[in-house]
Structure 1
Amino acid sequence: MFAAPTAPRRHGAAADASLRQKRVLTRMRVVDKFAILTLSLSLALIGCTSQGLNQSTTSMPTSNTVMTSGLVTSAPLETATSSQTLPVYWLGSSNDDVFLYREFVPARSSDDPIVAALRVIMGGKPLDPDYFSIWNNPSRLGASISAKNVITIDMSADAFSNKVDKGIAERSISQLVYTATAAAAMAGLVDTSTSIQVSILVDGHTGYNAFGQLTLEKPLTRAAQFVAPVWIIDPANGSHFNTLPLKVAGQAISPTGTLVWSLSHVVGDKVGEHYLSGTVTIEQGPNELGEFSFTLVPPPGSYELSVYVEDPAAPGKKLGLDTKIVSISEPSAK
């Protein structure tokens, strides 16, 4: 349903690497007015669920270079864990596109993990105010898993009551698919060695016209092109620490295999003076979605942590920018 574009013909390893690098950079370059997601935009999106929709969340960003697909070509499943948390995916703007980002929330419901996770994205609020969801909390929601690794989600039509454009509709359906498969995988309810499909029923039937944009006819799999190109997984937005070092981890893709990070002071609700910056490498190398991690030892205070790809053709432009607000306090007295 959301097929990625056909890859260009390859002419040897060197040409292939050059084409992939150009592809990554071309898709990550955007017009300047969307290049930096400032704190003011973050604050504007606080509580941006079905009760607080606006034009910026119901339609794709408009620019001269709108991306039609993302950079990621594969989206590995989460692994089973005994942790009492639920994986949930949100939509989030980065430059002139909208991508999927994951958060973990406490498992506080007696519902099965798939239903509980879907209830969060349909009626809850993300920890990071840069993220949002356009789903309504449905009056009826259920989930089941077949012996063939197919997750069936059955919900009432009121979940789709918001009007959105096709781009947001596609990403919202993928948001549901990612959340359902992540919750099932982490709970050990599916065989993660084979493909997992999600069939979406509305009032018990297939063929529903979701958001007036997409017909839900066939089972769906994860659409890798919607995964964020840069994504800070730890720390979560709003985290508070009284012990150091501050450990930062995430996943990203970069044409050089290198990312830039920065730490800026936050005073009140405004990002202020730049404090520290550096680079970090992606473990899997250039042009591959992979993991990154580093540690910081800042003095007490509030900070905006940023991670991004620096565009070599336009120094200073931040591509795929993701940010988190964190605070550091004096160590607790023993």
Structure 2
Amino acid sequence: MGGLRRAALVLVLPAALLLSGCVATPQEGITNSSSPSELIPAPASGAPTTSAPLETAQTSNKAPVYWIGRSNDNAFLYREFRDVPDQDNPVTRALRVMMSQTPLDPDFFTPWQNPKKLATSISGENVITVDVSADAFNSNVDAAMAERAIQQLVYTATAAAASAGLIDSGQQVQVVILVDGHTDYVAFNHVRLGAPTSRSAGLVAPVWIIDPQEGDSVGDGSVKISGRSTAQGGKLHWEILKVDADNAKTAYLNGTTTASTNAVQPGLFTLSANLGPGRYEVRVSQVDASDSAKELFQDTRGFTVK
């Protein structure tokens, strides 16, 4: 890993200099990657909102990869940890998975295409430069989905760098996207690239089950389920269903929990359930403060207990 980190820490001063002299002429219907137009939805609980914090360094060789998923007539970013090959640096590996593979969760998707060329580097100023070939954008998407796709890349690149310990997670991290070595490319015909771009809090999933991941197998007994909500201190409803051999689902357990207000892990929630061997699905959603019977932004995960 040490060799990979040294290889990834390449200065990108030429790109930074190129950016400083480039001012794009505004065009109707085209937004800049550094200022997406999407805003964070109001939290269902009326509690303070929080974005997903930057990932912390880990020893696992799994790469954090973000995908797009739909919820309540909107689309948000969700993360999975994926096995990756050893070649390339950690950021390139994660982005390659994002652009060439399918999510574990069938509720997620990606508009990216597998590019012929993909390279990444990191400067000492916490700037990640991604240089990708134009064929990565060969998808027909609308403006809102194009903005989500760019943020999907930004979230994945910054997550991979932070997980590998390649950046200072205590400072702002930005991503510069070049296409075939150049700035000003209009991605998916909607988003102009080239400006340093940070994570947009408004596009991360309001409710997000972190563990278990889709398809995981866990030991029987007390099974721990964890996740994150954008509503700190907000009430959450959870339900566990049993799944039979015909994929029919039957309600098994349910309850409520509260998202953390802890400054270190804002919005985190955990719950435990005693489960015997079999297949299950867990569902978690925010509870609307004005209507306790109304559940919003539900996330689901299917898993097996051995």
**TM bucket, shorter chain:** 0.7 to 0.9
In the other structure, the counterpart of 2:198 is 221
In the other structure, the counterpart of 2:43 is 24
Structure 1 residue identity aligned to 2:287: E
Structure 1 residue identity aligned to 2:58: T
Structure 2 residue identity aligned to 1:272: K
**CA–CA distance in structure 2, aligned partners of residues 290 and 73 of structure 1:** 7
In the other structure, the counterpart of 1:230 is 207
**CA–CA distance in structure 1, aligned partners of residues 168 and 292 of structure 2:** 45
How many angstroms does 1:243 deviate by? 3.1
How many angstroms does 1:291 deviate by? 0.6
How many angstroms does 1:108 deviate by? 2.0
Where do 1:1-334 residues align within 5 Å?
A: 1-2=35-36, 23-25=42-44, 72-254=49-231, 257-268=234-245, 270-284=247-261, 289-329=266-306
Structure 2 residue identity aligned to 1:161: N
Name the stretch that deviates more: 239-248 or 153-162: 239-248
Deviation sequence 1:274-302 (CA, Å, 0-9, x none): 111011121217xx941111111123221
Q: Is the 8 A contact 1:72 1:225 kept in 2?
A: no
SS of the residue corresponding to residue 245 of structure 1 reads strand
**CA–CA distance in structure 2, aligned partners of residues 255 and 292 of structure 1:** 10
How many angstroms does 1:23 deviate by? 3.7
**CA–CA distance in structure 1, aligned partners of residues 246 and 121 of structure 2:** 44
Distance 1:280 1:202, change over 3 A: same
Q: Is the 8 A contact 2:228 2:268 kept in 1?
A: yes
Distance 1:135 1:295, change over 3 A: same
Specify which structure has the bigger relative contact order, considering alpha-carbon pairs within 8 angstroms and separated by 6 or more residues.
2
**CA–CA distance in structure 1, aligned partners of residues 233 and 83 of structure 2:** 36
Q: Is the 8 A contact 1:271 1:304 kept in 2?
A: no
**CA–CA distance in structure 1, aligned partners of residues 142 and 179 of structure 2:** 20
Q: Is the 8 A contact 1:306 1:321 kept in 2?
A: yes
Aligned length: 271
Structure 1 residue identity aligned to 2:43: V
Q: Is the 8 A contact 2:66 2:156 kept in 1?
A: yes
SS of the residue corresponding to residue 217 of structure 2 reads strand
How many angstroms does 1:72 deviate by? 4.6
Cα RMSD after superposing both structures: 2.5
Structure 2 residue identity aligned to 1:302: R
How many angstroms does 1:252 deviate by? 0.6
**Structure 1 regions of 5+ residues with no counterpart?**
7-21, 28-70, 330-334
Q: Is the 8 A contact 2:221 2:276 kept in 1?
A: no
Structure 1 residue identity aligned to 2:142: D
How many angstroms does 1:3 deviate by? 5.9
Name the stretch that deviates more: 276-285 or 108-117: 276-285
Distance 1:271 1:317, change over 3 A: farther
Deviation sequence 1:133-179 (CA, Å, 0-9, x none): 01001000000111211111001000001010011100000000000
Distance 1:126 1:312, change over 3 A: same
Name the stretch that deviates more: 195-204 or 266-275: 266-275
Q: Is the 8 A contact 1:284 1:290 kept in 2?
A: yes
**CA–CA distance in structure 1, aligned partners of residues 76 and 105 of structure 2:** 14
Q: Is the 8 A contact 2:240 2:282 kept in 1?
A: yes
What is the TM-score normalised by the length of structure 2? 0.82
Q: Is the 8 A contact 2:94 2:160 kept in 1?
A: yes
What is the TM-score normalised by the length of structure 1? 0.75
How many angstroms does 1:228 deviate by? 0.5
Q: Is the 8 A contact 1:72 1:227 kept in 2?
A: no
**CA–CA distance in structure 2, aligned partners of residues 265 and 161 of structure 1:** 40
Distance 1:5 1:328, change over 3 A: closer
Structure 2 residue identity aligned to 1:260: H
Q: Percent identity?
A: 46
How many angstroms does 1:313 deviate by? 4.1
SS of the residue corresponding to residue 319 of structure 1 reads strand
